Amino acid sequence: MNAKEILSHVDHTYLKQNATWTEIQQICEEVIKYHTATAMVPSCFIKRIKDTYGDKIKVATVVGFPNGNCNTAAKIAETAQALADGASEIDMVINVGALKEGNTEYVTNEIKALKNLVGDRVLKVIVETCFLTEEEKIAACKCVTEAKADFIKTSTGFGPKGATLEDIKLFKEHIGPDVRMKPAGGIHTREEMEAYLALGCDRLGCSAAVKVLKDEL
């Protein structure tokens, strides 16, 4: 797989708490230059990006990030504003505590509420695998599938551990046929990117991809 093909699957990500507009502009310029799938940025920058770059760039953002345990109404409001500002894709964090106590109905209904709002745009669901047992990861797959989200995503990148190939293999066994996979967190090398794509991942959450691959273009 060549560098251009890999980059087409990458959400070029910059979600640091101290992100500045200057840094976000650099991300956007790289998205345009290297044709990554999206710029994955904090929601406060969406409108400014769309005002500056228009349709040259597809913007993704995060909701309920990184902890996921705000209430559903807050996630709905955050999502609505992000969509109004021009976001094309939403990466929401589930309520991990609710999943761990077995309240899968709450988790599923919250995902459904956001998917209903997002509509034809893309909803990715971050389940933060580092906090879950295998049984809970399987339950998360079922919640995401039942709620008809577009993607299941491993991690925020802010937890103690990011994506693993083992988690993607587990997802692959338990998600529905219409759910795609996005590993995120700790993906630093070309070999890692290729390995995830070879397992069938459709998107990669990766801040290092452009730096690693740009000299091949």
Indicate which residues carry an active-site annotation: 91, 153, 182
**Which residues have a Cβ under 8 Å from the Cβ of 140 and sit 6 or more positions away?**
94, 99, 107, 125, 127, 132, 152
Edge-to-edge strands, sheet with 180-182: 180-182, 151-153, 122-126, 89-93, 59-63, 38-40, 10-13, 204-206
Q: Which CA distances in Å does 42 have to 46, 68, 85, 119, 128?
A: 7, 15, 12, 21, 18
User: What is the rounded distance in angstroms from the CA atom of residue 25 to the CA atom of residue 43?
Assistant: 14
